[in-house]
Structures are given as structure tokens and as C-alpha cells.
Amino acid sequence: MLTFYGDASSNEADAGTPIMVVSGFISSAKLWSEFERRWAKVLERYGIAYFRMSEFAGCRGQFEGWRERESDRREFLRRAIDIIRDIAWGSFAAGVLKDDWNLCNQDYELEERSFMPYPLCAWACVDLVRRWSRGERGNRPYRFEEIMFVLEEGDADQAAFVSLAKKDFETIVRPEPKIPKNGTPPIGALQAADFAAWHVRNALNRYDMGTLERFREDFEMLFEAVPYRDHAHFGMKPIAVMPKNKLVRMSTQNKADEAVSSLVRFCQDRGIRPRK
């Protein structure tokens, strides 16, 4: 049994362009069990109950005062990334600029089909995992039907995504808490997904604002360890004008019609009707 753990990251409340990203990792149940054990030991080492990247980046919450502890910050990141590298078999992510989603929704019935920003990105991650499972993996083919999907609970429109996953993929999505709640233990794999989602969202935000000259050091550390390939970026710019780089890899790309944006192509491929 394989499990994909995913989390959402959105900067709607922050300065900059609102972007929705869902990202996470896949591995075997046995390896995820090892991950939880090792992740818990790292958190205990630094006196942390759980990890949330927004708190870490801003030195808030449990990480208050860490701005003056640069050696601890770097060592913590190295240990966390080492664990992800050792356990994860693949990374997946999908992101959409919310202004682009709004533009597309004016012309296509995205909302009526339940493809709001979060369900769209989460649905795309499941689709990317499905495509990944069909690939050549030596003598170890993976059946998509045997992959479990766990996402952090509580995101807006999550119920719509759960219904879409059941209808389109015949798969059950299990929402779970990322941090301790009512006595339930935290799930370290979801905290790792939070780490990835924050980084992808931050990179896409800087790319959209024209300030992405290079990736953050910990972004490069993470995605050099776990290949950054099964990711999708939905937008309204024509595919032909999008840069051909590893950041903007489009699962919906159609080389026969590059004048069509990836969001419009998604609507066409999914049979989402244009508005009259």
C-alpha cells in the first residue's frame, strides 16, 4: 500500500498575488512509519510539538527567537530534508493563480463543476499520482487503486474535492489533522507536505511578480533530494509564452495548440461548458 500525503498553501491573507497550491509526497506505508518515528525525534530534539513552515519562515509561534539561531535553523532544515529525501518516492504539486482562476471562471463553469481553486489543485495532484503510477518502475508496478490519499483537514471546499476524487478516480480521500487536535497525534507526513506546499507557493508567487531570480536554498535542497517533476501550474497565459523550465511544468500542455492557456485546456479536456 502506498500513501500520498498532501497539504494546501494559500497566501490570500499575505501581501502579493493570491495563489493556491496543493503539494505532497508519496511512499510506502512501511517507509512512512519510519518517517514518523524519525520526524518525531527531530521535533523532540528541538523542543517542537509540530512543524509549520509559515511559522518557521517568519520565526513565529514555536520558532519565536529563532531569527538569532541561524545555526539551529540550518541544522533543523538539513535534518528535516534528509528524512524526506530518504523516505519520499516522489513529489507532486499543482498551483493556480487565483486571478487567473477568476478570469477562466467568467468564461467556463469551473465553479458549477466544483473546480474551485483548492479542489482544482488537489484534483490535479491525484491525477499526477495516477499518471505516475502508470509509469515504468522497473519490476515494481504500482496500482493506482491501492494508493491512499491523505490531506490536511479543514481547507475550504475540501468536501467538493473529496466528492470529485470519488467520482472521477473512484478513490477515497481521508482528511486528517496536521497538528495536534483533541488529543490526536500530529502527522509528520502532512507537516512535510506543508513544507513543500509553502515552497512551491512562494516560488510561484515570486515568478508571477517577476522577482524569481533563483530559488531559496532550502527549496533547492528539498527538490534536489526529491525530484521536482510531477508538478502542474494552471494559468491563463498561452502555453506558447510560458517559460520551458522545471518550475512551470504543465500536465495539461497540448503542443498541438499552444495558443490555449493551461486553464482553458483543462476546461476543454474535462468537458467543462463555456458560459453562454
Q: What is the pLDDT of residue 175?
A: 93
Q: Percent of the chain, pLDDT > 90? A: 61
Taking residue 73's Cβ as centre, other Cβ atoms within 10 Å add up to 18
pLDDT tens-place string over residues 58-105: 999 999 999 999 999 999 999 999 999 999 999 999 999 999 999 999
Q: What is the pLDDT of residue 51?
A: 93
Helix H or strand E encompassing 39: helix 29-45
Strand pairing of 147-152 and 173-176? parallel
pTM (predicted TM-score): 0.88
Instruction: Give the domain ranges of the chain.
Output: 2-270
CA–CA separation, 166 vs 27, rounded Å?
21
Q: Mean pLDDT, to the nearest integer, of 168-183?
A: 88
Q: Quick check: 95 and 134 in contact, CB under 8 A? A: no
| Per-residue pLDDT band at 17 (split at 50, 70, 90) | low
pLDDT tens-place string over residues 119-146: 999 999 999 999 888 875 444 567 899 8
CA–CA separation, 26 vs 5, rounded Å?
7
Q: Quick check: 234 and 95 in contact, CB under 8 A? A: yes
Q: What is the pLDDT of residue 141?
A: 64
Q: Domain 2-270 - what CATH class?
A: alpha beta
Q: What is the pLDDT of residue 225?
A: 73
Q: What is the pLDDT of residue 160?
A: 97
31 burial level (CB within 10 Å; 0-12, 13-18, 19+): middle
| Per-residue pLDDT band at 248 (split at 50, 70, 90) | very low
| Per-residue pLDDT band at 202 (split at 50, 70, 90) | confident
